[in-house]
Amino acid sequence: MSNKQDKNCIFCKIIKKEIPSDVILENKDFIAILDINPVNKGHILILIKDHCKNLTDFPEDKGKELIIFAKKISSAIVKATNADGFNFSMNNEAPAGQMIFHAHFHLIPRFKEDGLRHWPHKKYLDGEKEQLADKIKKIMEK
């Protein structure tokens, strides 16, 4: 296990087994646990063991391992819950719904009639889409 932990972080405490959890899968980099407040039953959180806040400081070299880890779990939760699909997501910062500031990913089993709604869509004004695309590209060039 890494030494990069935050002694005040609830997820770091779960990783160190100071707080009990229902561990689904664990390896040297990640631990998957059942969410105690699930969106749907079978909702799993994948925690990176190194403490980092969100995607902006998530270690790039762990991306492939994360996907392999998530794929294994997603197939199992779909079968175990008889789900019709699943969401794989991450909330980044409070306005996006992040409540615990330790990078973690959600695997949520989904069902045709689960009552969850998709996000509403918005429209761009004339020329706004192209201006925003250019602005994003210029920022990334820096």
Q: Identify whether 38 is part of a domain.
A: yes
Q: Which of 43, 104, 106, 121 is catalytic?
A: 104
Residue 29 domain boundaries: 10-141
pLDDT confidence tier of residue 7, bands split at 50, 70 and 90: confident
pTM of the predicted structure, to 2 decimals: 0.90
Within 27-103, strands assigned E span: 30-34, 44-48, 85-89
pLDDT digits (tens, 9 = 90+) for 101-133: 999 999 999 999 999 988 889 999 999 999 999
Q: How confident is the model over 78-86, as a mean pLDDT?
A: 97
pLDDT value at residue 1: 43
Q: Confirm whether 104 is a catalytic residue.
A: yes
Please count the structural domains in the chain. 1
Is residue 2 situated within a structural domain? no
Please report whether residue 49 resides in a domain.
yes
Q: Compute the C-alpha angle 116/117/118, nearest 5°.
A: 130
Whether the CB-CB separation of 15 and 29 falls below 8 Å is answered with no
Nearest to 108 by CA among 96, 120, 90, 94: 90
Q: Are 12 and 5 in contact (CB under 8 A)?
A: yes
Mean pLDDT, the chain, whole residue set: 94
Residue 34 lies in a domain: yes
User: Is 52 domain-assigned?
Assistant: yes
**CATH number, residue 126:** 3.30.428.10
Q: Give pLDDT tens digits for 11-33.
A: 999 999 999 999 999 999 999 99
